[in-house]
Amino acid sequence: MEYTVKSGSPEKQRIGCVVAAVYASRKLSPSAKILDDVSGGVISNLVRRGELEGDIGQTLLLHNVENTLCDRVLLVGCGKEKDLSTPNFRKINQAMVKRLQASGATEIASYLTEAPVKRRDITWKIGQSIEAIDECLYHFNQLKSDQKPPRRPLRKFIFSVSGRGQLTDGEVAVRNSMAISTGINLSKDLSNLPGNICTPSYLAKQASVLQEQYLNIKTTVLEENEMEKLGMGALLAVSRGSREAGKLIAVEYMAGDKDQAPIVLVGKGVTFDSGGISLKPGAGMDEMKYDMCGAASVLGTIAACAELQLPMNIVAIVPTVENMPGGIAIKPGDIVTSMSGTTIEILNTDAEGRLILCDALTYAAKYEPDVVIDVATLTGACIVALGEHPAGLLGNHSPLINDLLSAGQKSGDRCWELPLWDDYDEQLKSNFADIANIGGKGAGTITAACFLSRFTKKYHWAHLDIAGVAWKSGHHKGATGRPVSLLMQYILDRFEGTQSAM
């Protein structure tokens, strides 16, 4: 898809379709009012007759509107003008795309960017529009035998800005958002692949492809014998039951100053999670291919940074395994020793994500990081606590937590902080080892983070539990690409902060 920005009046756009907003109670937006005036009241007459009320997501397509140069005018309902939220702004863009896909138009001039969203500027609206459009157009059909493209696919969107003074900012927003969408789509593609294709070896190969595609990227893959020498007994314990060898992937994007401490992203990469000996129920087990969405998201984030060639240092670490109930798989009651030397009693083999993450988090210290953020589909308890809207957020450094909360609000890829109190550590006590790998029935998301916190004492750390947001089930089953938007917003905010400090 091609995206660009332009200033100009809607009736003068020689293009396949001009898109304008109509608010609740049939109020026309400025661009819709211009189109109405030049056409002799065609739009206001239709709206007055009840053809469009202006409710969120309603659409009305008009052809050959008099005294305009475009072939079509699409009116999109935006709800109450003063109450347009981030989720609803994305909804109106997606309603636009769904209607246009059946229209025959291929090039679009969108004036939805003039719709007011509280405390959001034109660059934000352009960025959100691109992400919403790309989300709507994304389809995973690589493995289908019939891959017929649409008869007349959408191929270009022009976003309206109010004057030439906004063109430069608009172009920056386009560039940033297209890079973010690249990262999101990579994350979705990796996550949607079945477990028989997307194995630990496949993830390692895809990480190596990034090294070939982009400048400033170096990919290193540790094999099981190398991890054994490092003492990664927790990670290797999980991979033991599978014929697929585990890997530890490190993707280093080093485009900043040599003395700049890197941002380290750690992504859980369980390419299929059967639960191991603590076998999961059969219903819905196909979705356990999504247990590597954390890995996919950090690789997508690195790709987006490389697309933008940000002058920063960022490292993605991916511990990747299959969790299978093989003959030599770990068993409940087994005790393993992590890279840090901490001994862990395995009370449930389906709490495997924290086992591979703890060794990866210990390994992360070698980079002397500025901050470490791990991303994992870690606990079903997070879905119970927060549902499918925000990711769970915990950590040991309040400024980092606040920055991630702010980035989530700005990007629309929200997270919500849960407490990481010492009180919860009691639940992880073991009679036989330093720590147990589960903490009982209560506060499962928090006790999982408490477990990880034991391995993050040397740096500032945050944990994102994305179990509720990484994929959708049912009719719309598929990966969401979250939290690439959140991570990229955090990184861009950090970049802008360093630029303004110079």
Could you tell me if 377 and 334 are in contact, meaning their C-beta atoms sit under 8 angstroms apart?
Answer: no
Residue-wise DSSP of 131-154:
HHHHHHH----TT-S--PPPSS--
Edge-first strand order for the sheet with 335-337 is 335-337, 343-345, 435-436
- State the DSSP H helix or E strand holding residue 204, giving kind and residue range, or none if neither: helix 200-213
Question: CA torsion angle for 22, 28, 34, 35 (degrees, to 10)?
Answer: 50
Cβ count near 495 (within 10 Å): 16
Phi, psi at residue 413, to the nearest 5°? -100, 75
3-state SS assignment for residue 283: coil
The residues annotated with a catalytic role in the active site are 280, 354
Residue 269 corresponds to which tokens in the numbers above? 């990469």
Question: At 135, which amino acid appears?
Answer: E
Could you tell me if 385 and 445 are in contact, meaning their C-beta atoms sit under 8 angstroms apart?
Answer: yes
Q: What single-letter DSSP state applies at residue 50?
A: T
* 414 closest CA partner among 392, 435, 436, 432: 392
Collect all residues with Cβ–Cβ distance below 8 Å to 138 and sequence separation of at least 6: 185, 188
- Buried-state track 161-180, b at ≥16 Cβ within 10 A, e below 16: beeeebeeebbebbebbbbb
Phi, psi at residue 372, to the nearest 5°? -125, 130
- State the DSSP H helix or E strand holding residue 395, giving kind and residue range, or none if neither: strand 391-395
